[in-house]
Amino acid sequence: MPEGSSGIRAPIYQSPTEVYQSRLGAELVDDPSQQTALNALDVLFGRLTTPKAQSNAPLKGLYLWGDVGRGKTYLMDIFYDCLPDEGKLRLHFHRFMARIHQSLNKLSGQQNPLELIAHDLSKTYRVLCFDEFFVSDIADAMILAGLFECLLEQGVVLVATSNTPIERLYENGLARHKFLPCITLLQQHTQTLHLNGKLDHRLQLINTQLNSPTAKASSPKIGVKSEIDFEAIFAGLTHAMSRHDINTRSITVCNRAIPVIRAAQIGPPNSAVWFDFTALCDGHRSQLDYMEIANRFSTVMLSDVPYLGGEIRGWIKARGTEDGVGDNQATSTGERTVTYASSDDSARRFISLIDELYDQNVNLYLSTDIPLAELYTEGALSFEFRRAYSRLVEMSYWDNSLLKSENMT
C-alpha cells in the first residue's frame, strides 16, 4: 500500500474479492453473476483505503439491486467489514430513516435541519451502507430529496442494496414528482449494478446445512398451528422463572400498551414475548414498535397468522391522502388509482416486522392458519412478500442460541 503524507505505512486490508474467495466452498457457492458487483466493490474499496486516491475526484457509490436471495446484502457486508473501523455506518434503511426522524424532532424549530443533520453525519462517516433501500412513505420521500443532496455535496459515499432499481423507487407514490430530484442524485452519484443470477443463495445455504453430516433434527419453529405447541415452547424458554414473573397482560412499546399472551424479560439475551397476530400487525403499529421489540426481546412468538392475500381492489385516492388509513371507498375528486387487497395493511406491517426481526437476529416462532407458502398468494405486495417468505424459510432453521448464517438478501 502507498505511504501517506506522514510517512507511516498505511495498514493492509483484505479486499472484498479476497474475503469472498476465502469463503468459497465453506459457506459460499461461486456465482459468476456476482463478479461484476465484486469488481466494483473492489475498486471502491481500493479508492477508499488508498491515501493518494482519497484526494481524487468525488467517489461514486454503488447501488446493488436484484431479486431475493441473490447475495446483495452478503456482498455489501463483506465490503463494509473490509473497510477500516472508523468513518463507516451500516444500517437497515428503515432504521436509518427512524434515526433521521428522531434527529428532526430534536431540531424542531431550527432553520435548515436537514443540512445540520447531513453536516453531522458527514463529520463522522465517509461511507453509509444501507440494506433494503426502499421508499414507500411520502414523508420519507420528501426528507430524502433534501438530505441526500446535502450528504452527497459533502462527499459522503452511499452503498445500498435494494429489490428495486433506482428509477422505480417510490413508483406510483403520492407527489412522486417531488422525489424525482432524489432519483437523479442517486443515478449521478452511484453506479447501479443488477444482480440477476438464477441462484437463490439463501435456499442453497439452507440445503447445504440440512445435508451436513452434523445437521441436527429440530422441532418446527415456523408452520401451521397444529404442528407447533406454543404453550410448551414458551414454558421451555422460561422454565427457570417463577410464574409470578411472567406477564400475561401487556407490554409498553413506544409509550403504548400492546396486549401479549405471555412475556418474560429476564434481561438480554434471556427474554421472550408471545403475541397474537392481531395485536402486533393489525391497527396502529409502526416500524418503531418493531424496532423496540427487536431490541428488547431475544425471542418473539407470533401465533395465528391468517391468510394475508386476497382479491385486489381499486380505489381512487385524492391528492393529499395516504394509503392504508381505512378510507376504503372511492372519491369523486381523486387523482390516482391505488390497488391493494383488503388485508394488505396488515401484510405490510407483517413484512416490516419480519424485516426487523431478521436484521436484529431475533429468534422467531410463528404459527399460521395455513401453510407458509400459501400465506400471501395475490395482492399488491406479492413482490415484497417474496422477501419475507425467503427470510422466514431461513429463520425457521436458526437455532435457539440465535446463531445464524450471513444474510443472503
The domain tally of the chain equals 2
How many whole angstroms separate alpha carbon 254 and alpha carbon 286? 10
pLDDT band at 41 (very low <50, low <70, confident <90, very high): very high
Does 244 lie in the same domain as 169?
no
All 3 cell numbers of residue 11? 495498514
pLDDT digit string, tens, across residues 193-238: 999 888 777 776 666 555 555 444 455 799 898 889 999 999 888 8
**Range with lowest mean pLDDT among 7-16, 194-203, 321-330:** 321-330
Does 166 lie in the same domain as 258?
no
Pair 94, 358: CB distance under 8 Å: no
More confident residue, 50 or 402: 50
pLDDT band at 57 (very low <50, low <70, confident <90, very high): low
Give 205's contacts (C-beta < 8 A, 6+ positions apart): 27, 394, 405, 408
Q: Is residue 5 part of a domain?
A: no
pLDDT band at 305 (very low <50, low <70, confident <90, very high): very high
Does 78 lie in the same domain as 27?
yes
Q: Is residue 210 part of a domain?
A: no
Structure confidence at residue 236 (pLDDT): 87
Structure confidence at residue 327 (pLDDT): 35
All 3 cell numbers of residue 252? 409498553
Give 29's contacts (C-beta < 8 A, 6+ positions apart): 199, 201, 204
Structure confidence at residue 310 (pLDDT): 63
Structure confidence at residue 38 (pLDDT): 95
Structure confidence at residue 337 (pLDDT): 45
The domain boundary, picked from 195, 230, 252, lies at 195
Q: List the one residue out of 129, 138, 133, 103 whose CA is nearest residue 118.
A: 103
Task: Inform me whether the pLDDT recorded for 325 exceeds 50.
Answer: no
Pair 341, 310: CB distance under 8 Å: yes
pLDDT band at 17 (very low <50, low <70, confident <90, very high): very high
Q: List the one residue out of 402, 372, 406 whose CA is nearest residue 390.
A: 372
Task: Inform me whether the pLDDT recorded for 85 exceeds 60.
Answer: yes
333, amino acid identity: T
Q: What is the mean pLDDT of residues 342-355?
A: 87
Does 137 lie in the same domain as 268?
no
Structure confidence at residue 340 (pLDDT): 57
All 3 cell numbers of residue 277? 397476530
How many whole angstroms separate alpha carbon 331 and alpha carbon 354? 34
Q: How many CB atoms lie within 10 A of CB 283?
A: 11
Q: Is residue 146 part of a domain?
A: yes
Does 227 lie in the same domain as 293?
yes
How many whole angstroms separate alpha carbon 288 and alpha carbon 285? 8
Does 231 lie in the same domain as 149?
no
Please tell me whether residue 237 adopts helix, strand or coil conformation: helix
Does 37 lie in the same domain as 111?
yes
9: which DSSP letter?
B
Stated as kind and residue range, the H or E segment containing 86 is none
Does 176 lie in the same domain as 94?
yes
Structure confidence at residue 247 (pLDDT): 87
Q: Is residue 189 part of a domain?
A: yes
Does 255 lie in the same domain as 347?
yes
Q: Is residue 202 part of a domain?
A: no
How many whole angstroms separate alpha carbon 42 and alpha carbon 40? 5
Q: List the one residue out of 301, 304, 319 whose CA is nearest residue 370.
A: 304
Own/partner long-range contacts of 115-123 (Cβ < 8 Å, ≥24 apart): 115/150, 117/147, 117/150, 118/147, 118/150, 118/151, 118/154, 118/156, 119/150, 119/154, 121/89, 121/151, 121/156, 122/151, 122/154, 122/155, 122/156
CATH number at residue 68: 3.40.50.300
Is residue 235 exposed (0-12), middle (13-18) or buried (19+ Cβ within 10 Å)?
middle
How many whole angstroms separate alpha carbon 280 and alpha carbon 355? 14
Structure confidence at residue 207 (pLDDT): 62
3-state secondary structure 164-182: CCHHHCCCCCCCHHHCHHH
The domain boundary, picked from 195, 228, 249, lies at 195
Residue 116 domain boundaries: 16-195
The domain boundary, picked from 146, 166, 195, lies at 195
Mean pLDDT taken over the chain: 81
Does 225 lie in the same domain as 173?
no
Pair 389, 346: CB distance under 8 Å: no
Does 38 lie in the same domain as 138?
yes
Q: Is residue 106 part of a domain?
A: yes
Model pTM score:
0.74
pLDDT digit string, tens, across residues 250-283: 999 999 999 999 999 765 557 899 999 999 998 8
CA 110 to the chain's CA centroid:
31
Q: What is the mean pLDDT of residues 181-203?
A: 88
All 3 cell numbers of residue 148? 441526500
More confident residue, 397 or 353: 353
Structure confidence at residue 27 (pLDDT): 67
How many whole angstroms separate alpha carbon 261 and alpha carbon 334? 42
Q: Is residue 366 part of a domain?
A: yes
Structure confidence at residue 209 (pLDDT): 56
Structure confidence at residue 23 (pLDDT): 85
Q: Is residue 211 part of a domain?
A: no
Which residue intervals of 171-317 are DSSP H helices?
180-189, 201-210, 230-237, 277-281, 287-296
How many whole angstroms separate alpha carbon 8 and alpha carbon 11? 9
Structure confidence at residue 7 (pLDDT): 41
Does 358 lie in the same domain as 275?
yes
